[in-house]
Chains A and B, each alone.
Chain A
Amino acid sequence: MERHDFAKPGEYTLADLMTVAASREVNDNEVVFAGTGMPMIAIMLAQRTHAPNLKLIFEAGTFDGRPNVIPTSVGDPRCEGGASRASGLCEAFSIAQRGYVDLGFLGGAEVDEYGNVNTTAIGNYLDPNLRLTGSGGNPDINSFARRTVFIMVHEARRFTRNVSYITSPGWRVKKWPSGEFVHRRELYGSAFRGGPSAVISTAGVFRFDEDTGRMYLDTYHPGKTPEEIKGLCQFDLDISRVKGETAPPNYDELHIIHEVLDKEEIFLPKPKKS
């Protein structure tokens, strides 16, 4: 087998597939904001494959890092390996607000058809069924970056018609004080740079039509069907633009993930030998 041959089912995990899909969202020379976990591995994988000149930013305050040991969080000393500067989060968010950031990777508990994401509370905010972490930098990165990619578990309750609380802004957002939904471009005005560009779930890869702001299915993961995925969304998912299956990892990518980046199996356990 050649390094760039695609791995076969059973030779990679669903998490490997998602990580590689996330990695392929990164273009060379881009400034990329990384969150803890799978996004870090995806970006560090891109750094070692097709995007060697990407500039990696960690929210807590490390810039242009080239770590060779995977950090367990963005405050970790391991973030600082090979970095050009380590400082703090006011600088990180100033850089982001100034417009340097091309791409950010984020997560969420719920997402709606327009890419609005909730990480704050499930149910009524004032009387929640479950209080979650809160926003962190999710809305900030999503407001400032040109593109954001969300990585999520796919369940019908998570791909919802209305998120309980808009933590992070999608393509159609609330205009206060009335709360009416308007296109993001209208609200952000001259601060508009873009918005959510993809959602990578455990079922497929989704993108957004920038004019309507609606999510559509781009690729489905091996073993899933577009109809099955449509059934896993509370909203009416557009599956008319689907391109085919999500490309699986190749052997080179699997080697980098499991033998170079996450040898300790902190975030991505190795595929079980069948």
Chain B
Amino acid sequence: MSSQSKRITLSEAAEIIKDGTMLTFSGFTIWRRPCALIFELIRQKRRDLHLVEVNSGPHSEFLIGAGCVKIWESCWIGHELYGKYGANLSRKVKNKEIIFEDYSHAEMGFRFLAASAGMPFIATQTSLGTDIHNPEYDMLGRAGLRNGKNPKIARKKYETMQDPFYGDGLQILLPAAKVDVAVLSVQQVGEEGTVRIGGQFFTDPEVCRAADTTIVVAEEIVPEECLRTEPRLNTIPSFQVDYIVECPYGAHPTGMFGYYDVDGDFIRNFYMQTRTQEGFDEFAREWIFGMDHTAYINKLGVDRLVNLQASRALNFSTRVKRGQK
């Protein structure tokens, strides 16, 4: 692909993700989640998404609350200290409006690791003896979705075997986490797609390679040659990235190492407000519908963004109020 052809708009990026897409994300809990693109998916009224992810966070709570998600396959959802659990997932589970599949966090990480290396499955010794492996709790199986019709849904939630090589006992075999699209929210991407992530890269390299299509939403698109003078600092090579979008504050209200801190007040208010569907709908009217990303940033306002601005030296904000003092 030539360099210019990778650059698209937020709205075009959302159109690549069709109804029913198996989707995953960059980041970890309340850090580097592609929220701007998620708000755009909600505006475009995407439906029946199948989210496959490591520890989740506000981004998926937005999608789930908006009714975009049919299946949530993960291990955790919450807002760290800004909200005890995922109130929208919790409500939809109680009302039987969503299919959920639980693995452990290491299991999800290892499943992406397998998919990223073209391994059909991976062996691990985690979570033995837990209800994660209760055969009654294979939820995609219960929903009749493990019938081989979707080539990215494994025919079993997991399998067990004794180690055939070293005799090291019981092993859990987990299917690779294959997904259609990965959306990454990062600091910098080159014009040809080279990704440079600041700070912890979480599972971004793995989820990128696990997906058929990768969309990178970056704070800045930078000249490719700037990244190629020090390749050891780069995280993902250009040819693994299909589309790039420039979107400042694209992860807000989650945080971006070196750029801006987590907007804890925003996330806490979202959590408190969206414990009911009416509350979510009100939130969506105020912060999602009837605006684009530029309008969203303007609505947040300069004071708020300056407050979240990360120190260039420390990579986090020294101004943001985090506790009672």
Contact = CB atoms under 8 A, between A and B. Distances in A.
B77 A134 contact: yes
Among B86, B105, B106, B321, residue most surrounded by chain A Cβ atoms (within 10 Å): B106
B325 A176 contact: no
Contacts of A176: 133-135, 160
A75 to B, nearest CB: 4
Contact of A131 (B55, B90, B127, B255): B90
B127 A77 contact: no
B204 interface: yes
B110 A93 contact: yes
Given A73-B31, A93-B110, A173-B128, A78 B316 contact: yes
A75 B324 contact: no
Interface in A239-270: 262-267, 269
Contacts of B90: 130-132
Contacts of B310: 77
Contacts of A179: 134
A89 B258 contact: no
Given A60-B200, A80-B199, A139-B130, A72 B322 contact: yes
Interface in B199-234: 199-206
Interface in B24-76: 27-32, 54-55, 74-76
B262 interface: yes
B137 interface: yes
B169 A132 contact: no
A135 B100 CA distance: 13
B112 interface: yes
B89 A131 contact: yes
Interface stretch (A7-15, A46-54, A164-172, A220-228): A164-172
B85 interface: yes
A209 B233 CA distance: 49
B257 interface: yes
B202 A133 contact: no
Contacts of B84: 133
B200 A75 contact: yes
B78 interface: yes
A265 to B, nearest CB: 4
Contacts of A121: 93
Contacts, number: 222
Indicate the size class of the contact surface on chain B.
35 or more
Interface stretch (A20-28, A181-189, A197-205, A230-238): A181-189
Indicate the size class of the contact surface on chain A.
35 or more
Given A72-B80, A191-B168, A89 B202 contact: yes
Contacts of A87: 200-201
Contact of B324 (A74, A89, A90, A264): A264
Nearest to A164: B131
A144 interface: yes
Contact of A133 (B77, B136, B255): B77
B135 A177 contact: yes
A63 B86 CA distance: 28
A87 B201 CA distance: 5
B213 to A, nearest CB: 21
B1 interface: no
B27 A169 contact: no
Nearest to A118: B131
A131 to B, nearest CB: 4
A13 to B, nearest CB: 13
A61 B200 contact: yes
Contacts of B173: none
A140 interface: yes
A271 interface: no
Contacts of B201: 61, 87-88
A190 B29 CA distance: 33
Contacts of A96: 106
A189 B78 CA distance: 34
B312 interface: no
A168 to B, nearest CB: 7
B131 A75 contact: no
A190 B125 CA distance: 10
A136 interface: yes
A88 B202 contact: yes
A79 to B, nearest CB: 7
A77 B257 contact: yes
B201 to A, nearest CB: 5
A174 interface: yes
Nearest to A176: B133
5 contacts: A87-B201, A93-B110, A144-B126, A169-B130, A190-B168
Given A135-B102, A143-B128, A264-B323, 18 more contacts: A69-B316, A75-B31, A76-B31, A87-B200, A89-B203, A90-B206, A93-B109, A93-B110, A93-B126, A125-B137, A128-B94, A133-B85, A135-B75, A136-B75, A137-B106, A140-B127, A189-B169, A266-B323
Interface of B: 27-32, 54-55, 74-78, 80-81, 84-86, 89-90, 93-94, 96, 100, 102-107, 109-110, 112-113, 124-137, 160, 167-170, 199-206, 255, 257-258, 262, 264, 310, 314-316, 321-325
- By Cβ-Cβ distance, the 3 closest A-B pairs, closest first, are A173-B129, A189-B169, A266-B323
